[in-house]
Amino acid sequence: MYTLLIGNKNYSTWSMRPWIALKQAGIAFQEHIIQFDSFEPESLFKTEILKYNATGKVPALLDVDVVVWDSLAICEYLAEQHPEKALWPTDKAMRARARSITAEMHSGFQTLRNLCPMNVEADLSHVGRQLWTQHAQLRADVARIEQIWSQRPSENDFLCGEFSIADAFYAPVVMRFACFNLPLSASSQVYMQKVLSLSSVQQWIAEAKQEHLFVPFNEPYRSDREEYLKAD
């Protein structure tokens, strides 16, 4: 059985991607959470993750004597090992699109990442309003994401028809948009609700809220856990 090494579910977007892919595909795995304390070389987090992954980062997938790191590499590995799960679309053109938009998410949208870190348990709508008016590049990042989402085959589809790795990669974006309540089109809101209703995403959200951990270096907009805590 696989072991997936992940960070805190409240914060770790990189961990969420392969976790969602595994859950949606129904592939059995054990999770090993390594809690964030800091990313300094002597931190408990770094000390623990370096036992498994020389990059000192999560996520990492352990498959007996094989170690796969980086969320995209992990998902590619899973797709290769489980072709019957169709983690990439079977159609050639749609598969190419899925890979392209996944890679774009993997390497781009730095302003969104920097200004709107994932925080599952928090309601940072007031921060989102300020950021939206102050940062043109944030608006540009969101506009490009909305363009990608608008090109799904139909209003009720996932990004490339059926659920794929592409949707797993945009699931943390959905969480960022929900936390900061950024203004989105009706079509984008339909897609968001489709992702939020996935059983895997519902489980991730529930378990993130159960962590009850406040990690200051992941919290640019809160001074303690009770501040701006989302009502259940």
Extract the tokens encoding 74: 């992990």
| Domain-ending residue, one of 25, 53, 85 | 85
Residues 6+ apart with CB under 8 A from 47: none
From the list 121, 139, 122, the residue with the least C-alpha distance to 130 is: 139
Same structural domain, 77 and 100: no
Indicate whether 232 belongs to any domain. Answer: no
| Domain-ending residue, one of 85, 112, 143 | 85
State how far the Cα of 34 lies from the Cα of 104, in Å rounded to an integer: 27
pLDDT at 231: 80
Same structural domain, 33 and 97: no
Same structural domain, 128 and 176: yes
What's 66's domain CATH number? Answer: 3.40.30.10
Same structural domain, 51 and 97: no
- Write out the residue range of the structural domain in which residue 61 sits: 2-85
pLDDT at 38: 86
| Domain-ending residue, one of 31, 52, 85 | 85
Count how many domains the chain has.
2
What torsion, rounded to 10 degrees, do the Cα atoms 206, 192, 59, 70 define? 180
Indicate whether 226 belongs to any domain. Answer: no
pLDDT in tens, the chain (232 residues): 999 999 999 999 999 999 999 999 999 999 999 999 888 998 999 999 999 999 999 999 999 999 999 999 999 999 999 999 999 999 999 999 999 999 999 999 999 999 999 999 999 999 999 999 999 999 999 999 999 999 999 999 999 999 999 999 999 999 999 999 999 999 999 999 999 999 999 999 999 999 999 999 999 999 999 999 988 7
Same structural domain, 138 and 213: yes
Same structural domain, 79 and 98: no
State how far the Cα of 54 lies from the Cα of 45, in Å rounded to an integer: 13
State how far the Cα of 100 lies from the Cα of 17, in Å rounded to an integer: 16
pLDDT at 23: 98
Same structural domain, 101 and 68: no
Indicate whether 230 belongs to any domain. Answer: no
Task: Kindly tell me the burial class for residue 56, based on how many C-beta atoms sit within 10 Å of its own C-beta (0-12, 13-18, 19 or more).
Answer: middle
Extract the tokens encoding 24: 């949606």
Residues 6+ apart with CB under 8 A from 19: 4, 6, 31, 59, 200, 204
Same structural domain, 127 and 159: yes
What's 187's domain CATH number? Answer: 1.20.1050
Indicate whether 147 belongs to any domain. Answer: yes
Same structural domain, 81 and 96: no
From the list 71, 70, 113, 110, the residue with the least C-alpha distance to 218 is: 113
CA angle 132, 133, 138 (to 5 degrees): 40
Same structural domain, 96 and 76: no
